[in-house]
Structure 1
Amino acid sequence: MKSYPIKFTPILKERLWGGTKLRDVLGKEISSDITGESWELSAVPGDVSVVANGPYKDKSLQELMDTHGAALLGESVLSRFGTEFPILIKFIDAKQDLSIQLHPNDELARKRHNSFGKTEMWYIMQADEGAELIVGFNKNVTKEEYTANLEKNTLTDILNYEKVKEGDTFFINTGKVHAIGAGVLLAEIQQTSDVTYRIYDFNRRDKDGNTRELHTEQALDAIDYEKKDDFKVAYTKEKNVSNTMVECPYFTTNYMDVEGHLEHDITGRDSFSIYMCVDGEAEIAIGEITEKVRKGETVLIPATTEMVNLISDKAKLLEVYIG
């Protein structure tokens, strides 16, 4: 396999709650004023990313996996997931509050939907004054208390609200009730899964006057009703090293503050690597091939790569791989 920083054409998604920051802040080519998501790297059926640069231009991510297997993914990743790309990478712009939701764990998702569960993390790229997330409950609740609040339209009274700013990072494990609040622009790394249980949508209606489907019954045995302070990620920001943010069975994410020229040895990782540029811009070089990434862009590095050169006056990157 040819090893170079592979870029993909973003898959843009209009959402009821979307806005214009993906265009105005991240420079995406978008005409719509309600674009909520840019899928940067996806192998979700029907939404498979297509290469935008280099020798593999116009090939799909699925074609690369089918053709190159372990050279792209890594032997350990291939043995665990086959040629199903295990994570989905997005940028999300919430002009309005997203619905309150949660995701089932692997066991429940497999039984009900023949799918993986959905563990995810968020890195806040920009937040309007006073912007918040909902993460978990503000007290321990029983299933009966939860149901009573849902019926009385008082669910938000028992939820935990977190004010956010740039750089804040949150780990959302399965079962945790959550929602992105209005005014938040973030990077999301998640298991490849589209299984979401929506439990409350603020009684909103779409342009045709319809409410969105709720998954009230399915959610009941998928929710973690316990109040837990396990979601805010503390991490160091040392320059020119990989600062660990999240390590879980589904992905590892590091924060990299790059200034100058960094020779980054990734020998023996046995996984593809992903670099999401969350601020500034950088050149990513593998051998003689160089690709520039700007804020809001993402590249995929094949697993056979041993050394990545990162060159920047000032860039913040999220480095993602399967540990």
Structure 2
Amino acid sequence: MEKKIYFIEPVFEAKYWGGQALKERYGYTPDLPNIAIAYHVIALPQHNLDNTVKETGEKLSEFYKNHRELFGCNREDFPIRMGSGNKVKQISIQLHPNDEYCLQHEGERGKFECGIFVQGDRDHLAIRGHNAKTREEFRELVETEQWDKLFRVVTIKKGQYTYGPQGTLHGSPYAPTEEETDMVELGFETNSDITYRLYDWGRNMPNRPLHIEKVIDTVNIPDDQNMGVDIVEKDVDGCKVAYFIDKPGIFTAFRIRVDECGTFERKEFMFLFCIDGEAEINGTKIKKGETIFVPCDFGALTIKGKVELGGMTYRNL
């Protein structure tokens, strides 16, 4: 298979809490009441979430299986996902279980995630972790519904990114204010869609079940250190590059900003999503809202234009 740049077509999902900001920001036009999540990279056919590779017409899950030489990845299952989210309602308090538990009970891996705000970035409150010291104390606070005592509310500051290992309790402590409904978060995650809800603010919606016992079984104990993390950029060959996570066997997530022209290279395959602006990358034009796939061992990318890119790859263990 030719080692060239391929375009990845997005997949959209409407949810109870989704808004209109993704349609407005990127000009997406799906026949949906809202876009809660635009998946730029996902390969979960069992959940009907699978991108299409524009040049071949293959689903991304098939493209990965059929052209492994383009990835150089030792995982049988496709390892990563990336998507933009916009919420206008309060989301549930939830977690994503670890790989061991998830594989045993759900038949797929758990989800590790981090995210940056690409629109409407401002100081805001978030639930990140909890205040229980033992699993017994966690259970007691849940059963007695002492949510204010249990949930750990932190301030995520403007310019920070969020970091969520598997088993991290997280969610919204309040419904977004009117000005906060324009916030767009770009999420970098392992390729899973398993979520356990602990508390849904009394909504009791049939399509949003709670998983209280599973949360108690899988929540990290203790979990009182998770905070927003400052973004650190380095100048590399005309690019301003910030890495968020770079862990073999999990994923590598980064952002590239270019003002005029820069060069960027990794030996691994890459997915690059255009957060803002437009550019020409080795002769291929990309604009805001588009995603490209760059095969492994492709060589240096010459990026011409004023552009901001979110990137992901996977390093073998």
Normalised by the shorter chain, which TM-score bucket?
Answer: 0.7 to 0.9
1:238 paired to 2:234: yes
CA distance in 2, matches of 1:37, 1:255: 19
User: Paired residue for 1:281?
Assistant: 278
User: Aligned AA for 2:152?
Assistant: N
Aligned to 2:308: 316
TM-aligned CA distance change 1:21 to 1:162, over 3 Å: farther
Q: Quick one: distance in 1 between partners of 2:246 and 2:146?
A: 35
Per the alignment, do residues 301 and 236 of structure 1 end up closer, same or farther by CA in structure 2, a change over 3 Å counting?
A: same
Q: 3-state DSSP class of the match of 1:88? A: strand
- In the other structure, the counterpart of 2:114 is 121
| Counterpart secondary structure, 1:39 | strand
Q: Give the superposition deviation at 1:237.
A: 2.2
Cα separation, 2, equivalents of 1:305 and 1:172: 31
Aligned pair 1:215/2:227, yes or no? no
Equivalent residue in structure 2 for 1:225, among 216, 221, 226: 221
CA contact (8 A) 2:121 2:159 kept: no
2:163 maps to which of 171, 187, 191:
171
Residues in 1 aligned to 2:115 and 2:296: alpha-carbon distance in whole angstroms: 24
> Please, what is the CA RMSD of the aligned residues?
2.3
**Does the 8 Å CA contact 1:20/1:32 hold for their aligned counterparts?**
no
Q: Percent identity at matched positions?
A: 24
Q: In structure 2, list runs of 5 or more residues that go unmatched.
A: none
Is 1:2 matched up with 2:7?
A: no
1:3-22, aligned counterparts within 5 Å? 3-22=3-22
CA drift at 1:118: 0.9
8 Å CA contact 2:20, 2:35 repeated in 1: yes
**Given the alignment of the two structures, is residue 292 of structure 1 paired with residue 286 of structure 2, yes or no?**
yes
Structure 1's 191 and 128: CA in aligned 2 closer, same or farther, altered over 3 A? closer
Structure 2 CA distance for partners of 1:146 and 1:23, relative to 1, 3 Å: same
Structure 1, unpaired ranges of 5+ = none
Asked whether the equivalents of residues 92 and 185 of structure 1 are also in contact (C-alpha less than 8 Å), the reply is yes
Displacement of 1:24 in angstroms is 1.4
Q: Does 1:104 align with 2:102?
A: no
Structure 2 residue 32 is the aligned partner of structure 1 residue 41: no
- Look up the SS of the partner of 2:210 in the other structure: coil
Native 8 Å contact 2:275 2:309 kept in 1: yes
Q: Residue in 1 aligned with 2:71?
A: 73
Contact kept in structure 1, 2:251 and 2:314, CA below 8 Å: yes
> Is 1:192 the equivalent of 2:174?
no
- Give the TM-score normalised by the residue count of structure 1: 0.85
Deviation at 1:39, TM superposition (A): 1.2
User: Could you state the TM-score of these two structures normalised by the residue count of structure 2?
Assistant: 0.86
